[in-house]
């Protein structure tokens, strides 16, 4: 899974279902959610019920208290400022460039699930799993 996290997540979801709970310490769990409606529930509809993972605290010292690392009212202010960038029109405009930048690692023709692999320059982004309210995009 370390070499290709996305492929690993796809395999876990295929084996265990749409929602998988991973206990990683007493009282703390990591969840893998595979359905878009689950992401909408956590990131948009009920985002106040979720907090960022403890792994985001050290990141705040590196990148500041912005959208990625803040919570509560501060996070809402940051989200309102950035929201226009993620309108349907804007996403449609930069979608093809994003797709071109992520070649597929396996295709349905190989018998495997279609997925994407990030270039090695993006590998630091996989150092910790995203928390439920990391972006809050709706």
**Does 12 reside within a domain?**
yes
Provide mean pLDDT across the span 115-127.
42
- Of the listed ranges 22-31, 38-47, 89-98, 114-123, the least confidently predicted one is 114-123
Provide mean pLDDT across the span 110-137.
42
Q: Is the pTM of this model over 0.85?
A: no
What confidence tens digit (pLDDT) does each residue in 67-84 have?
A: 888 888 898 899 899 889
Query: Mapping DSSP to helix (H, G, I), strand (E, B) and coil, where does residue 118 land?
Result: coil
**Does 114 reside within a domain?**
yes
**Does 55 reside within a domain?**
no
Structural domain harbouring 13:
1-50+106-129
- pLDDT at 100 > cutoff 90: no
**Does 86 reside within a domain?**
no
**Does 68 reside within a domain?**
no
- pLDDT at 56 > cutoff 90: no
**Total domains in the fold of the chain:** 1
What DSSP line would sit under the chain, residue for residue?
--S-HHHHHHHHHHHH-SEEEEEEETTEEEEEE-SHHHHHIIIIITGGG----TTHHHHHHHH-SSTTT--HHHHHHHHHHHGGGGSHHHHHHHHHHHHHHS-EEE-GGGTS--EE---GGGGGGGSSPPPTTSS---
Confidence grade of residue 97 (pLDDT, cut at 50, 70, 90): confident
CA distance linking residue 77 with residue 66, whole number of Å: 10
């Amino acid at each position: 899974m370390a070499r290709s996290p996305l492929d690993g997540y796809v395999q876990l979801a295929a084996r265990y279902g749409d929602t998988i709970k991973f206990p990683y310490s007493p009282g703390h769990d990591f969840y893998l959610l595979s359905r878009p409606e689950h992401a909408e529930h956590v990131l948009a509809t009920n985002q106040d019920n979720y907090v960022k993972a403890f792994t985001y605290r050290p990141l705040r010292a590196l990148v500041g208290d912005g959208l990625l690392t803040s919570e509560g009212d501060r996070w809402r202010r940051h989200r309102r400022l950035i929201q226009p960038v993620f309108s349907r029109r804007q996403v449609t405009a930069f979608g093809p460039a994003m797709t071109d930048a992520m070649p597929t690692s396996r295709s349905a023709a190989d018998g495997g699930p279609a997925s994407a692999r990030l270039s090695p320059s993006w590998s630091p982004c996989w150092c910790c799993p995203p928390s439920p309210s990391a972006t809050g995009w709706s």
